[in-house]
Amino acid sequence: MDRRQKRTRTAIFNAFINLLSTKNYNNITVADVIELANVGRATFYSHFETKDYLLKELCNELFEHVFSVENCLVDAYIFTCKEKDTMFLHLIKHIKKNDNNIAKLLSCKNNELFLEYFKVEVKKLILANKNNFSNEKPKFIPEEFWLNHLTNTFIETIKWWIDNGMIESPETITEYFYKIVGIKKQVQ
């Protein structure tokens, strides 16, 4: 993708994020995104098939960067970072900085679709690092139930933190989560 295409894609992402922070997802139209991004309809459709596809691609962009260790130091279209932290701390730092309104996406009233994508990625992260949890899954509990519990605990921790003004540092919130779910070593 050349620089012009990257700029266009970034403008569309930013317009969409801004709209999501102020309007219900179902009330956002492609025309709204096009107008705010200052791109033509054909340009929009050359990048995204539908508004739903735009949301999916936005989530992919966010999560590919945050949840992929090899991408942590790579500039993505909408994220830049130079630090290498544990996976959970890395994500929480982005939320604290409110990179690309990620905190708004997590806390807005129409965040169901975003949270579903977020939940899938957090669940993958936990599954890939399940050996780091000191509280092993009891044998009688189905793995899907255990994964769901840990995933929702992380998401609710983040929501609580955002709702309470993100006063605690990312390191403190990460430590809270680690203590609650029993992580014995840092999740990379």
Q: 84 — alpha (psi -120 to 50), left (phi > 0) or beta?
A: beta
Pick the range with the lowest mean pLDDT from 13-27, 88-102, 163-177. 88-102
Q: Can you give the pLDDT at residue 111?
A: 67
**C-alpha–C-alpha distance, residues 149 and 181, integer Å:** 9
Query: Which backbone phi and psi does 168 adopt, to 5 degrees?
Result: -70, 150
**Quick check: 152 pLDDT over 50?**
yes
CATH fold, domain 3-181, is Tetracycline Repressor; domain 2 (1.10.357)
Q: What is the sign of the dihedral through the CA atoms of 182, 91, 126 and 53?
A: positive
Q: Tens digits of per-residue pLDDT, 65-91?
A: 666 654 444 444 445 565 666 777 877
Q: Can you give the pLDDT at residue 168?
A: 94
Query: Which backbone phi and psi does 166 adopt, to 5 degrees?
Result: 50, 45
Contacts 24+ apart (CB under 8 A), 3-7: 5/47, 6/77
Rounded mean pLDDT, 158-178: 90
Mean pLDDT of the chain, nearest integer: 79
**C-alpha–C-alpha distance, residues 9 and 94, integer Å:** 20
Give me the DSSP letters along 139-155.
Answer: TTS-HHHHHHHHHHHHH
Q: How far is CA 185 from the centre of its chain?
A: 23
3-state secondary structure 2-45: CHHHHHHHHHHHHHHHHHHCCCCHHHCCHHHHHHHHCCCHHHHH
Residue 32: pLDDT band by 50, 70, 90 thresholds? very high
Reported pTM = 0.71
**Quick check: 35 pLDDT over 80?**
yes
**C-alpha–C-alpha distance, residues 6 and 77, integer Å:** 7
Q: Can you give the pLDDT at residue 29?
A: 94
Least Cα distance to 100 among 176, 12, 187 occurs for 12
**Quick check: 38 pLDDT over 90?**
yes
Q: Can you give the pLDDT at residue 170?
A: 92
Angle between the N-to-C axes of helices 87-97 and 51-67, in degrees from 0 to 180, rounded to the nearest 10: 130
**C-alpha–C-alpha distance, residues 128 and 34, integer Å:** 38
Q: Can you give the pLDDT at residue 74?
A: 41
| pLDDT-above-70 percentage for the chain | 76
Q: Can you give the pLDDT at residue 1?
A: 65
**Quick check: 31 pLDDT over 50?**
yes
Q: Can you give the pLDDT at residue 72?
A: 46
Q: Tens digits of per-residue pLDDT, 103-147?
A: 766 766 656 777 788 888 888 877 877 776 656 667 888 888 988
